[in-house]
Amino acid sequence: MARKVLVLGEIRDGSLRNVSFEAIAAAKTVSEGGEIVGVLIGDQVSNLGEELIKYGADRVIAAENENLKQYTTDGYAQALMQVIEAEQPQGIIAGHTAMGKDLTPKIAAKLNSGLVSDVTAIEEAGGNIVFTRPIYSGKAFEKKIITGELIFATVRPNNIVPLEKDESRTGEVKTMAVEVKDLRTVVKEVVRKASEGVDLSEAKVIVSGGRGVKSAEGFEPLKELAKVLGGAVGASRGACDAEYCDYSMQIGQTGKVVTPDLYIACGISGAIQHLAGMSNSKVIVAINKDPEANIFNVADYGIVGDLFEVVPLLIEEFKQLKINA
Protein backbone atom coordinates (compact mmCIF):
# COMPACT_ATOMS: atom_id res chain seq x y z
CA MET A 1 0.00 0.00 0.00
CA ALA A 2 1.57 3.26 -1.16
CA ARG A 3 1.50 6.00 1.49
CA LYS A 4 2.23 9.70 1.57
CA VAL A 5 4.74 10.20 4.41
CA LEU A 6 5.78 13.50 5.99
CA VAL A 7 9.37 13.73 7.24
CA LEU A 8 10.20 16.45 9.75
CA GLY A 9 13.59 17.93 8.94
CA GLU A 10 15.40 19.15 12.04
CA ILE A 11 17.51 22.30 11.81
CA ARG A 12 20.34 23.28 14.12
CA ASP A 13 22.47 26.39 13.65
CA GLY A 14 21.20 26.88 10.11
CA SER A 15 21.97 23.32 8.95
CA LEU A 16 20.00 20.10 8.74
CA ARG A 17 20.87 17.45 11.31
CA ASN A 18 21.89 14.03 9.97
CA VAL A 19 18.86 12.40 11.59
CA SER A 20 16.71 14.26 9.05
CA PHE A 21 18.26 12.19 6.25
CA GLU A 22 17.95 9.00 8.30
CA ALA A 23 14.25 9.79 8.76
CA ILE A 24 13.85 10.04 4.97
CA ALA A 25 15.35 6.57 4.58
CA ALA A 26 12.92 5.28 7.22
CA ALA A 27 10.04 6.98 5.41
CA LYS A 28 10.98 5.18 2.18
CA THR A 29 10.27 1.86 3.87
CA VAL A 30 7.06 3.13 5.44
CA SER A 31 5.79 4.72 2.20
CA GLU A 32 6.07 1.48 0.18
CA GLY A 33 6.54 3.46 -3.00
CA GLY A 34 4.41 6.45 -2.01
CA GLU A 35 5.38 10.13 -1.85
CA ILE A 36 7.94 11.45 0.64
CA VAL A 37 7.24 15.06 1.66
CA GLY A 38 9.92 16.86 3.66
CA VAL A 39 8.74 19.45 6.20
CA LEU A 40 10.90 22.33 7.43
CA ILE A 41 9.67 24.61 10.21
CA GLY A 42 11.21 27.98 11.04
CA ASP A 43 11.77 31.46 9.71
CA GLN A 44 13.23 31.59 6.19
CA VAL A 45 14.22 27.93 6.02
CA SER A 46 13.19 27.09 2.45
CA ASN A 47 16.83 27.30 1.30
CA LEU A 48 17.44 23.95 3.04
CA GLY A 49 14.73 22.17 1.08
CA GLU A 50 16.94 21.07 -1.81
CA GLU A 51 19.18 19.16 0.59
CA LEU A 52 16.23 17.02 1.72
CA ILE A 53 15.34 16.33 -1.92
CA LYS A 54 18.89 15.19 -2.71
CA TYR A 55 18.60 12.67 0.13
CA GLY A 56 15.34 11.22 -1.13
CA ALA A 57 12.41 13.56 -0.46
CA ASP A 58 10.11 14.05 -3.47
CA ARG A 59 9.12 17.58 -2.48
CA VAL A 60 9.45 19.90 0.51
CA ILE A 61 7.14 22.24 2.38
CA ALA A 62 8.79 25.06 4.33
CA ALA A 63 6.35 26.21 7.04
CA GLU A 64 7.52 29.71 7.86
CA ASN A 65 6.62 32.38 10.40
CA GLU A 66 8.78 34.94 12.21
CA ASN A 67 7.59 33.44 15.52
CA LEU A 68 9.33 30.18 14.59
CA LYS A 69 12.90 31.47 14.72
CA GLN A 70 13.49 29.45 17.89
CA TYR A 71 11.91 26.13 18.76
CA THR A 72 8.91 26.18 21.10
CA THR A 73 6.51 23.28 21.52
CA ASP A 74 3.42 25.45 20.92
CA GLY A 75 4.79 27.22 17.86
CA TYR A 76 6.12 24.15 16.08
CA ALA A 77 3.01 22.13 16.95
CA GLN A 78 0.75 24.78 15.41
CA ALA A 79 2.89 24.90 12.25
CA LEU A 80 3.16 21.14 11.85
CA MET A 81 -0.56 20.63 12.41
CA GLN A 82 -1.34 23.09 9.62
CA VAL A 83 0.94 21.14 7.27
CA ILE A 84 -0.67 17.84 8.31
CA GLU A 85 -4.16 19.23 7.76
CA ALA A 86 -3.16 20.47 4.30
CA GLU A 87 -1.36 17.28 3.22
CA GLN A 88 -3.42 14.55 4.95
CA PRO A 89 -0.51 12.08 5.11
CA GLN A 90 -0.70 8.39 5.96
CA GLY A 91 2.64 8.52 7.77
CA ILE A 92 4.83 10.91 9.79
CA ILE A 93 8.50 10.29 10.65
CA ALA A 94 10.73 12.45 12.85
CA GLY A 95 14.02 12.08 14.69
CA HIS A 96 14.04 10.81 18.27
CA THR A 97 15.93 13.89 19.44
CA ALA A 98 15.24 16.38 22.21
CA MET A 99 12.93 18.25 19.84
CA GLY A 100 11.31 15.10 18.46
CA LYS A 101 10.67 13.66 21.92
CA ASP A 102 9.02 16.91 22.97
CA LEU A 103 6.98 17.65 19.85
CA THR A 104 5.70 14.29 18.57
CA PRO A 105 3.64 13.21 21.62
CA LYS A 106 1.78 16.53 21.45
CA ILE A 107 1.04 16.00 17.75
CA ALA A 108 -0.02 12.38 18.35
CA ALA A 109 -2.44 13.52 21.05
CA LYS A 110 -3.94 16.15 18.75
CA LEU A 111 -4.37 13.56 16.00
CA ASN A 112 -5.68 10.92 18.42
CA SER A 113 -2.98 8.69 16.97
CA GLY A 114 -0.53 6.09 18.23
CA LEU A 115 3.20 6.83 18.26
CA VAL A 116 6.11 4.40 18.10
CA SER A 117 9.11 6.18 19.59
CA ASP A 118 12.86 5.50 19.58
CA VAL A 119 12.78 3.15 16.58
CA THR A 120 16.08 1.46 15.67
CA ALA A 121 14.93 -0.62 12.68
CA ILE A 122 12.02 -0.74 10.23
CA GLU A 123 11.06 -3.59 7.93
CA GLU A 124 8.14 -4.86 5.88
CA ALA A 125 6.89 -8.28 6.92
CA GLY A 126 3.67 -10.12 6.17
CA GLY A 127 2.06 -7.03 4.70
CA ASN A 128 2.82 -4.95 7.80
CA ILE A 129 5.42 -2.29 8.60
CA VAL A 130 7.30 -3.63 11.64
CA PHE A 131 9.13 -1.28 13.98
CA THR A 132 11.87 -2.45 16.35
CA ARG A 133 12.62 -0.45 19.48
CA PRO A 134 14.65 -1.09 22.66
CA ILE A 135 12.94 -1.59 26.03
CA TYR A 136 14.17 -2.10 29.61
CA SER A 137 17.13 0.24 29.10
CA GLY A 138 18.27 -1.64 26.00
CA LYS A 139 18.24 -5.11 27.60
CA ALA A 140 15.52 -6.30 25.22
CA PHE A 141 13.83 -5.28 21.98
CA GLU A 142 10.20 -5.29 20.99
CA LYS A 143 8.59 -5.30 17.56
CA LYS A 144 5.47 -3.23 16.93
CA ILE A 145 3.00 -2.70 14.13
CA ILE A 146 0.48 0.12 13.82
CA THR A 147 -3.09 -0.92 13.14
CA GLY A 148 -4.49 2.60 12.76
CA GLU A 149 -4.66 4.62 9.57
CA LEU A 150 -1.70 6.86 10.45
CA ILE A 151 1.83 5.48 10.89
CA PHE A 152 3.68 7.82 13.28
CA ALA A 153 7.20 7.12 14.54
CA THR A 154 10.46 8.67 15.70
CA VAL A 155 13.82 7.13 14.76
CA ARG A 156 16.88 6.99 16.99
CA PRO A 157 19.89 8.80 15.43
CA ASN A 158 22.66 6.65 13.93
CA ASN A 159 20.50 3.55 13.41
CA ILE A 160 18.80 3.99 10.03
CA VAL A 161 21.29 4.29 7.16
CA PRO A 162 20.54 7.38 5.01
CA LEU A 163 19.95 6.99 1.30
CA GLU A 164 22.85 7.88 -0.94
CA LYS A 165 22.89 11.61 -1.72
CA ASP A 166 21.91 12.26 -5.35
CA GLU A 167 22.96 15.68 -6.56
CA SER A 168 20.84 15.29 -9.70
CA ARG A 169 17.51 14.90 -7.86
CA THR A 170 15.07 17.78 -8.19
CA GLY A 171 11.73 18.55 -6.65
CA GLU A 172 9.42 21.35 -5.60
CA VAL A 173 10.26 23.40 -2.51
CA LYS A 174 7.10 25.26 -1.50
CA THR A 175 6.91 27.97 1.15
CA MET A 176 3.79 27.80 3.30
CA ALA A 177 2.93 30.80 5.47
CA VAL A 178 1.57 29.38 8.72
CA GLU A 179 -0.32 31.10 11.52
CA VAL A 180 1.32 31.01 14.93
CA LYS A 181 -0.53 32.68 17.80
CA ASP A 182 -1.15 32.60 21.55
CA LEU A 183 2.28 31.23 22.36
CA ARG A 184 2.65 30.34 26.01
CA THR A 185 6.44 30.31 25.69
CA VAL A 186 8.55 32.99 24.03
CA VAL A 187 12.30 32.50 23.66
CA LYS A 188 13.99 35.84 24.25
CA GLU A 189 17.59 34.68 24.09
CA VAL A 190 19.57 31.48 23.62
CA VAL A 191 22.78 31.19 25.60
CA ARG A 192 24.90 28.32 24.35
CA LYS A 193 27.62 26.61 26.29
CA ALA A 194 30.92 26.59 24.47
CA SER A 195 31.33 23.27 22.69
CA GLU A 196 33.78 21.85 20.23
CA GLY A 197 33.77 19.02 17.75
CA VAL A 198 31.00 16.68 16.67
CA ASP A 199 27.47 16.61 18.07
CA LEU A 200 27.45 13.83 20.68
CA SER A 201 24.07 12.38 19.67
CA GLU A 202 25.12 12.03 16.02
CA ALA A 203 28.81 11.16 16.43
CA LYS A 204 30.08 8.03 14.68
CA VAL A 205 32.92 7.79 17.20
CA ILE A 206 32.66 8.59 20.93
CA VAL A 207 35.47 8.58 23.47
CA SER A 208 33.93 8.55 26.92
CA GLY A 209 35.44 9.03 30.39
CA GLY A 210 34.36 7.97 33.86
CA ARG A 211 35.62 8.50 37.39
CA GLY A 212 38.86 6.88 36.29
CA VAL A 213 39.91 10.08 34.52
CA LYS A 214 40.38 11.50 38.06
CA SER A 215 39.99 15.20 37.15
CA ALA A 216 38.85 17.69 34.54
CA GLU A 217 42.42 17.68 33.20
CA GLY A 218 42.12 13.91 32.81
CA PHE A 219 39.70 14.49 29.94
CA GLU A 220 42.37 16.23 27.85
CA PRO A 221 43.88 13.04 26.35
CA LEU A 222 40.36 11.79 25.65
CA LYS A 223 39.59 15.00 23.79
CA GLU A 224 42.78 14.58 21.76
CA LEU A 225 41.89 10.99 20.87
CA ALA A 226 38.40 12.04 19.85
CA LYS A 227 39.83 14.80 17.67
CA VAL A 228 42.17 12.39 15.91
CA LEU A 229 39.27 10.01 15.24
CA GLY A 230 36.86 12.79 14.23
CA GLY A 231 34.57 11.94 17.11
CA ALA A 232 32.98 13.41 20.22
CA VAL A 233 33.71 13.19 23.95
CA GLY A 234 31.17 11.79 26.40
CA ALA A 235 31.13 10.94 30.09
CA SER A 236 29.53 8.74 32.70
CA ARG A 237 27.31 10.23 35.38
CA GLY A 238 30.07 9.56 37.91
CA ALA A 239 32.43 11.87 36.04
CA CYS A 240 29.75 14.53 35.80
CA ASP A 241 28.84 14.24 39.49
CA ALA A 242 32.51 14.61 40.36
CA GLU A 243 32.49 17.87 38.35
CA TYR A 244 35.12 16.63 35.91
CA CYS A 245 32.89 17.76 33.04
CA ASP A 246 29.52 19.28 32.20
CA TYR A 247 26.30 17.25 32.42
CA SER A 248 25.68 17.96 28.74
CA MET A 249 28.30 15.24 28.09
CA GLN A 250 26.52 12.61 30.19
CA ILE A 251 25.68 9.30 28.52
CA GLY A 252 23.34 6.86 30.23
CA GLN A 253 19.83 6.21 31.43
CA THR A 254 19.48 9.77 32.76
CA GLY A 255 21.66 11.30 30.03
CA LYS A 256 21.98 10.85 26.28
CA VAL A 257 21.42 7.52 24.55
CA VAL A 258 23.99 7.04 21.79
CA THR A 259 24.66 4.39 19.15
CA PRO A 260 27.96 5.27 17.47
CA ASP A 261 29.97 2.98 15.22
CA LEU A 262 32.77 3.02 17.80
CA TYR A 263 32.50 3.68 21.55
CA ILE A 264 35.72 3.87 23.59
CA ALA A 265 35.05 3.73 27.34
CA CYS A 266 37.96 5.03 29.41
CA GLY A 267 37.96 4.52 33.18
CA ILE A 268 34.27 3.59 33.21
CA SER A 269 33.24 0.74 35.51
CA GLY A 270 30.08 -0.15 33.60
CA ALA A 271 27.20 0.64 35.92
CA ILE A 272 23.86 -0.48 34.47
CA GLN A 273 22.70 3.15 34.19
CA HIS A 274 25.62 3.95 31.89
CA LEU A 275 25.24 0.77 29.84
CA ALA A 276 21.64 1.77 29.13
CA GLY A 277 22.95 4.74 27.16
CA MET A 278 25.66 3.07 25.06
CA SER A 279 25.32 -0.72 25.02
CA ASN A 280 23.86 -0.68 21.49
CA SER A 281 27.00 0.89 20.03
CA LYS A 282 28.24 -1.14 17.07
CA VAL A 283 31.77 -1.68 18.48
CA ILE A 284 32.70 -1.08 22.13
CA VAL A 285 36.28 -0.80 23.36
CA ALA A 286 36.86 -0.67 27.14
CA ILE A 287 39.98 0.58 28.89
CA ASN A 288 40.09 -0.05 32.63
CA LYS A 289 42.65 -1.02 35.27
CA ASP A 290 40.20 -3.41 36.95
CA PRO A 291 39.96 -6.70 35.00
CA GLU A 292 36.68 -7.45 36.80
CA ALA A 293 34.99 -4.18 35.72
CA ASN A 294 31.46 -4.76 34.42
CA ILE A 295 32.19 -2.73 31.27
CA PHE A 296 34.19 -5.68 29.91
CA ASN A 297 31.00 -7.78 29.85
CA VAL A 298 29.57 -5.65 27.05
CA ALA A 299 32.83 -4.68 25.34
CA ASP A 300 33.87 -6.19 22.01
CA TYR A 301 37.50 -5.41 22.85
CA GLY A 302 39.01 -4.85 26.29
CA ILE A 303 42.31 -3.36 27.40
CA VAL A 304 43.29 -3.90 31.02
CA GLY A 305 45.57 -1.00 31.83
CA ASP A 306 45.96 2.61 32.94
CA LEU A 307 44.06 4.87 30.57
CA PHE A 308 46.74 7.54 30.96
CA GLU A 309 49.24 5.08 29.46
CA VAL A 310 46.94 3.43 26.93
CA VAL A 311 45.19 6.48 25.44
CA PRO A 312 48.44 8.31 24.42
CA LEU A 313 49.59 5.10 22.69
CA LEU A 314 46.29 4.92 20.81
CA ILE A 315 46.61 8.57 19.80
CA GLU A 316 50.07 8.02 18.32
CA GLU A 317 49.01 4.81 16.58
CA PHE A 318 45.94 6.40 15.00
CA LYS A 319 48.01 9.40 13.90
CA GLN A 320 50.43 7.06 12.14
CA LEU A 321 47.59 5.19 10.49
CA LYS A 322 46.18 8.47 9.16
CA ILE A 323 49.61 9.53 7.87
CA ASN A 324 50.10 6.22 6.09
CA ALA A 325 46.57 6.02 4.74
pLDDT value for 227: 94
Same domain, yes or no, for 147 and 220?
A: no
Last-in-domain residue among 146, 177, 208: 177
Q: Which domain holds residue 118?
A: 5-177
In a domain, 188, yes or no: no
Same domain, yes or no, for 98 and 213?
A: no
Residues whose CB is less than 8 angstroms from the CB of residue 265 and which lie 6 or more positions away in sequence, other chains included: 208, 210, 278, 284, 285, 286, 287, 288, 295, 299
Contact 268, 253 (CB under 8 A): no
Same domain, yes or no, for 126 and 15?
A: yes
What's the CA gap between 23 and 163, in Å, rounded?
A: 10
Contact 52, 38 (CB under 8 A): yes
pLDDT value for 196: 57
In a domain, 139, yes or no: yes
Kindly report the pTM of this predicted structure: 0.86
Same domain, yes or no, for 162 and 276?
A: no
pLDDT value for 136: 86
For residue 195, pLDDT beyond 60? no
What's the CA gap between 206 and 231, in Å, rounded?
A: 5
For residue 236, pLDDT beyond 70? yes
pLDDT (average), residues 288-298: 96
pLDDT value for 325: 67
In a domain, 105, yes or no: yes
Same domain, yes or no, for 33 and 109?
A: yes
pLDDT (average), residues 156-171: 94
Domain count, the chain: 2
Tens-digit pLDDT profile for residues 298-315: 999 999 999 999 999 999
Last-in-domain residue among 177, 208, 230: 177
In a domain, 143, yes or no: yes
pLDDT value for 193: 66
Same domain, yes or no, for 247 and 289?
A: yes
Tens-digit pLDDT profile for residues 18-54: 999 999 999 999 999 999 999 999 999 999 999 999 9
Tens-digit pLDDT profile for residues 51-66: 999 999 999 999 999 9
Between 198 and 148, the more confident residue is 148
Same domain, yes or no, for 39 and 161?
A: yes
Q: CATH number, domain at 240?
A: 3.40.50.1220
Backbone angles phi, psi at 47, to 5 degrees: -65, -15
139, burial (CB in 10 Å: exposed 0-12, middle 13-18, buried 19+): exposed
In a domain, 183, yes or no: no
pLDDT value for 187: 84
Last-in-domain residue among 145, 177, 209: 177
Same domain, yes or no, for 136 and 213?
A: no
Nearest to 260 by CA among 227, 292, 291, 230: 230
Q: CATH number, domain at 146?
A: 3.40.50.620
pLDDT value for 297: 95
Same domain, yes or no, for 136 and 100?
A: yes
In a domain, 293, yes or no: yes
In a domain, 47, yes or no: yes
pLDDT value for 168: 95
In a domain, 192, yes or no: no
